[in-house]
Chain A
């Protein structure tokens, strides 16, 4: 592997505005909230960095997993919710599995992603957030997720197609789609789930609507 260990762009530079921010925005309110909602024992984290070393994508994160745990302890909510970490995380559970203190690192990051998704904060990794959202929309429409419909819906989201064409990868994607279709791996039409009404009812219920 020839990826460099450190990259100037990805290393968090000390921000002069942050210098005086010694305690979090609401005391230990945020720590207690996260611990209560996820059941993870974040206070037990002693910064051994094992989660960051196990993480396959920590290189692409601006706040590394062990730092994220520290930020939760300090209550630095906004830094966490505007970070790329919460969207880049793959939920591969490496960090949770190898944590010596059994802090549920992946669960905490996943919960932060939930909080960010339900807030008005613009996600730093917009494309990843849009992809997750598209997945759930397609699921709601047909009860099952067809790759062809998913990719169509994803490309029709604002800015996604524009970015693809600009970077020149659009033609490649179309060719890949055609190859997949020829090989019989892309099926444009598949049946909807027979339980589609139940699924849509569940979606309404999860949103808090009265069914």
Chain B
């Protein structure tokens, strides 16, 4: 299977560990992810805040580049996925003049839903060498991946299940909680620290109350927000995993502590205590 891959800007910087684990997981699953060669930024929140036209045009260029390759797009970042889908709908409605001859016919997949497909779950279960049994997790989806449903196409936007299914397939114990799709504050913490902190702290508190030992995310910004607030070292740190990191860990029989060296809340002691990492 061949797919074109739109990584997004974070994967070159803050989310290098996400990028590495995606490479490893898709290699193990025998899926060719071909990075769109000349991808550019999707504009994120800034583009649609300041100029609605740019928020359609910027992702449209990436859609055009993928159409040249003729392969469906997989995006691993929640906001990139949301913006690509939004731009695609606007192109199909012919709202704006787009400078490139783009049709918007390609499918835009979001990586979690792509891997949570029943067939893919079977593939994942086949490749799990070491089940992550005993690891108590909560799954955190964030907002841009599930909302608004008319753009993302999620029908279970109040209680999304994709990450839950993937995490269960790795053998971990998934705990239900009510803050699956509550916003983490996104980039607001850079300009208004107190707003960002109040939102992320609440999420960590609620995860702890639910009895979770770690949080699984799929969005680079959610990961850095939830992880960086723990930079001063909490009494009981809650490691924030990308779901691909868990898949990579369960696909290998040994594991490697160096995979997690970019984390602020160090997951190595927890994984060693559970005998999941040697």
Binding site for B on A (CB under 8 A): 1, 3, 56-57, 60, 88, 90-94, 96-97, 106, 110-111, 113-114, 117, 125, 127-128, 130-133, 135-136, 139, 143-148, 151, 154, 169, 176, 179-180, 183-187, 190, 193-196, 198-199, 201-203, 205-206
Contacts and interface: CB of A to CB of B under 8 A. Distances in A.
Contact of A90 (B54, B58, B183): B183
B191 A144 contact: no
Interface in B190-216: 190-193, 195, 198-199, 202, 205
Given A56-B182, A143-B40, A194-B37, A133 B16 contact: no
A190 B187 CA distance: 21
Contact of A131 (B183, B187, B199): B187
Contacts of B228: 176
Interface stretch (B130-138, B143-151, B234-242, B268-276): B143-151
A175 to B, nearest CB: 9
B231 interface: yes
A138 to B, nearest CB: 9
Contacts of B195: 57, 60, 88
Contacts of A92: 143-144, 147, 183, 186
B191 A136 contact: no
Contacts of A135: 44, 46-47
Contacts of A106: 148
B41 interface: yes
Given A135-B44, A195-B38, A206-B57, A110 B182 contact: no
B34 interface: no
Given A56-B199, A144-B40, A187 B12 contact: yes
B52 interface: yes
A90 B185 contact: yes
Contacts, number: 166
Contacts of B14: 147, 180, 185-186
Contacts of A1: 202, 205
The DSSP consensus for interface residues of chain A is: helix
Contacts of A196: 40
Q: Which 4 A-B pairs have the closest CB atoms?
A: A135-B46, A194-B38, A92-B183, A92-B143
A69 to B, nearest CB: 17
Interface string B41-81: 10111111111111001100100010000000000000000
A153 to B, nearest CB: 12
B231 A179 contact: yes
Contacts of B183: 56-57, 90, 92, 94
B265 to A, nearest CB: 12
Chain B interface residue number, banded: 35 or more
Contacts of B188: 57, 88, 90, 128
A206 B55 CA distance: 10
A205 B44 CA distance: 19
A127 to B, nearest CB: 4
Given A90-B185, A136-B50, 9 more contacts: A56-B183, A56-B185, A60-B192, A110-B52, A114-B52, A127-B191, A145-B9, A186-B14, A187-B13
Nearest to B38: A194
Interface string B1-21: 000000001101111100000
B262 A184 contact: yes
A93 B147 contact: yes
B24 to A, nearest CB: 17
Interface in B80-134: 99-100
B261 interface: yes
Given A117-B49, A131-B191, A187-B12, A193 B38 contact: yes
A130 B54 CA distance: 17
Contacts of A176: 228, 231
